[in-house]
Chain A
Amino acid sequence: MSLLKKLVKPFLVVAPYVARSSQTVKYPDERLVFSERFRGRHHLDLDKCIHCGLCARICPCASIVLVPVEGREGKYPQIDYGTCSLCGLCVDACPRGALTMTDFVEFAAYKRSELVYSPERLAEVPDIKEVLPMLKRRIRPVLTDKEMKYEVVEEL
């Protein structure tokens, strides 16, 4: 191939991509729907927990401590999301399935102490609309043979 041909070829390859759909997610307005197995914030079922403490023992980051809950017997896990790596080993270790993981990832807080989630706070997962008031739609990535694009799952 001549040098001129070689020089022109990259432009011919790139040209069709000008018409490609946008690959970015406009986050506070749009939010991805994560897969079923996605490891986000924990949900604790207070009635299922048997206070065995296996979650606290297996945690590699020592983020889980067992603390008492008002009006209930026994101690329940409290998770520090300042150090948690969301590995999900605690969920695997839980013998009663009291700990599960949600697709909730909005952890931002003003103080580090706000990142320590008490058992009562873990027991309820807030509605996404409360945390992201500007959220307009939820999307998910779809792969076709030619390109990757986003399709709208739900308009809010």
Chain B
Amino acid sequence: MTEPEVKPEVMRISWGPQHPMSGQTRILIDVDGEVVRRIIADIGFTHRGIEKILEKRTFIQGIVPIERMVMADTANIALGYVQAVEEALGIEVPERAKWIRSLICEMGRINSHLYAFGLQVECTGYFPAVFLWTTVDREVLLDLFEKLTGARWSYSFFIPGGVRADLPEGFRDEVKRAVKYLRRRFQDYWDAMVENPLFEMRNRGVGILSREDAIRLGATGPVLRGSGVDMDVRRDEPYAAYGDLDFKVITEKEGDCFARLKVRFHEIEQSLNIMEQIADEIPGGPVRTKVPLFPRSKPGVEALSRVETARGELGVHIFTDGGLKPYRVKINSPTLRNMYVFERLAELDKVLVADLPVILYSIDPWYLDCDR
């Protein structure tokens, strides 16, 4: 990256590349005393060429590298790719497989939001125990993932034509038990953390993003909904089983760090409701249609899939040229869009150096997702 010139009245600090809580990235900040005048995110610092890697893999092989984009939320990311492949190759998916996909996606969303919640609490500096709490509660979901998919992270469970296996015996009861346990825990989180005046003081009124700015800068996910824009791909353009499921899209008006946290928190509640609905109402039938191991595409087909991941809207755009591999895969990742918003926040609102970590983790960045 070519660094913009430094004005004489400010001091430039390089924040990173080592970040204690998330991955590696480099962020430059121009400070005037304690006030941040400008934020420059070094987008592309951890570029790994995932789009290029996908061109060198067959359609089914591509599932494994694309999951490495966001390890906390692999299910939603993989679903975006798999749906695009299905559209490009014209593959039908059985109804039961769609419901299982939604179940795994919601579990992944809770997993990711818990991580984000833990980080945001941790970076305020007061409550180190809460990050351990969320880590332990994620364990409940990881055990469910292990029983269903065979892996705790990076499940590689969705394949074109359905999912790789049916629900194991007694799994629906286990989902219900986990939902009951997590509901009780989230009540404790709410009482101990969200209603905690110290935590509220640190988050309320910090990093305000107005509704107009959120739309103008192209924010997405909880950042957009935290600014009062009612938008969610799951409801607006239903995929998987979301058309049949009953859930609310959460919005908060304030647009500050606290609003974004509350959006995530209420989304977890909605996800738990969805998990319960799926456990109760999942239809029977096959979970997989027969697809060849190396499916061949038709030349000149274009497919686009939109998925609501935990961090926002993911778009996967596939072009085919009639071969065994995609000709080009373009990924529109959610964190990239939110990082642009983060860069502009110093212009929109008064930002202090001490508030910077809180603001950064309130947009829930995943730098590998941003740089792909």
Contacts and interface: CB of A to CB of B under 8 A. Distances in A.
A148 B197 contact: no
A72 B283 CA distance: 48
Contacts of A38: 146, 150-151
A10 B191 contact: yes
Interface string B193-215: 10111100000000000000000
A29 interface: no
A36 B167 CA distance: 12
B65 interface: yes
Interface residues of B, number: 40
A12 B154 CA distance: 38
15 contacts: A6-B195, A7-B196, A7-B197, A7-B198, A14-B129, A14-B192, A23-B139, A38-B146, A58-B58, A58-B294, A61-B64, A141-B139, A143-B143, A145-B181, A148-B136
A143 B156 contact: no
Interface in A48-80: 54, 57-61
Contacts of A139: none
A58 B293 contact: yes
Contacts of A146: 181, 184
A37 interface: yes
Interface of B: 57-58, 60-65, 129, 136, 139-140, 143, 146-151, 154, 156, 164-165, 168, 174, 177-178, 180-181, 184, 188, 191-193, 195-198, 293-294
Contact of A37 (B60, B168, B178): B168
Interface residues of A, number: 34
A6 B136 CA distance: 25
A6 B143 contact: no
B154 A85 contact: yes
Given A10-B192, A60-B61, 20 more contacts: A9-B195, A10-B193, A10-B196, A13-B188, A35-B150, A35-B168, A37-B146, A37-B148, A38-B146, A60-B62, A61-B64, A88-B150, A88-B164, A89-B64, A141-B143, A143-B140, A145-B180, A145-B184, A146-B184, A148-B140
